[in-house]
Amino acid sequence: MTRPVKLACRHVWKLYGPHPERLVGKSPSLDEIRASGHVGAVRDVSLNIGEGEIFVIMGLSGSGKSTLVRCLSRLIEPTAGEILYDGEDLLKASPARMIEIRRHHMGMVFQHFALLPHLTVLENVAFPLEVQGMARPAREARAREVIALVGLQGREGHYPRQLSGGQQQRVGIARSLAVEPDLWFLDEPFSALDPLIRREMQEEFLRIQKQLKKTIVFITHDFDEAIRLADHIAIMKDGAVVQVASPEELVLAPADDYVRAFTAHVSRAKVITLGRIAVPGVPADVAGTLPAEARVEAVAEQVVTAGRPFAVEREGAVIGHVTPQAVIDVLIGRGG
């Protein structure tokens, strides 16, 4: 299913240095940028981000992923290019229009929670609505809704110092959701959390997304996190996007050695879907039906324990079946 494009960028550049505008029209190479005394933080990036999808941006430290996200929201001014939000070029928007878009249509969550220590949970979450000028009863009612959504009901009167790291991050997420954004930017929001809390927050995040279906741009350096959350992943290197693909495609068909190194230690069972290994036809003795988008790892025990094939369904139509042996082949690195 093709999603309508919610956010797109076309040939976006962000160069730092004395005269960046003189370079971008020439499409300089990385070596040419460096030789001229400039830094190529973002280089000629073009992306389409579909409505309601989780689009993950990955790369090593210094690859440009955070700079790109800040360009997409115009927190940093790109040197050149187009950034299209519902078809509107944000680089042509006035400062007043950008304030309106950020206040009413964009949510942002960063690695550092940036909660206001003198405000309670309720007041922190309601704060962006106060900035919008919303009356106190209405903003507190909305804040209570999103506090419940992130599982913090009962803690509305607590201060940030009284919360765990995971709870503080939930407050940050609730605050960003209070304005009901169409577009949600998250820059390594879970990376400062302990592994167990981090996994719980990923589960919470997926639960919230299942309900709200936001368009999300999510930065992480953790490939396991990316394949768990992403519909599509963009891999960046030296300010440029090397490959954009589904997690499954990245693992099975990396564009180059850089992407191959990123995916080298990923278990194929985590990314290969049943739709990938399904074969035509449906035997009479199937044990049940499973969705084509299910990852092998998630259903392996169910299929192998049943000892019989399962029909595979996509968008309401049966496309074939998978056998226990096909699942075992993926688990041992032989299938897919």
Read off the tokens for 127.
């704060």
How many Å separate Cα 221 from the centre of its chain? 11
Contact 209, 54 (CB under 8 A): yes
- For the whole model, what pTM was predicted? 0.87
Fold of 269-331: CBS domain Like (3.90.1280)
Q: What is the rounded distance in angstroms from the CA atom of residue 161 to the CA atom of residue 297?
A: 39
* Axis crossing angle, helix 136-149 with helix 165-177, rounded to the nearest 10: 130
- The segment(s) of the chain belonging to CATH 3.90.1280.20 are 269-331
Distances (CA, A) of 76 to 14, 41, 66, 67, 88: 9, 11, 10, 7, 18
The CATH class for the domain spanning 1-105+217-266 reads: alpha beta
H/E stretch holding 56 reads strand 54-59
Mean of all residue pLDDT scores within the chain: 91
pLDDT at 335: 67
- Residue 113 reports pLDDT greater than 70: no
Distances (CA, A) of 294 to 72, 120, 289, 290, 335: 31, 40, 11, 7, 16
pLDDT at 217: 96
- Per residue in 51-61, pLDDT (tens digit) is 999 999 999 88
- The segment(s) of the chain belonging to CATH 3.40.50.300 are 1-105+217-266
For range 91-112, the mean pLDDT: 89
1 pLDDT tier (thresholds 50, 70, 90): low
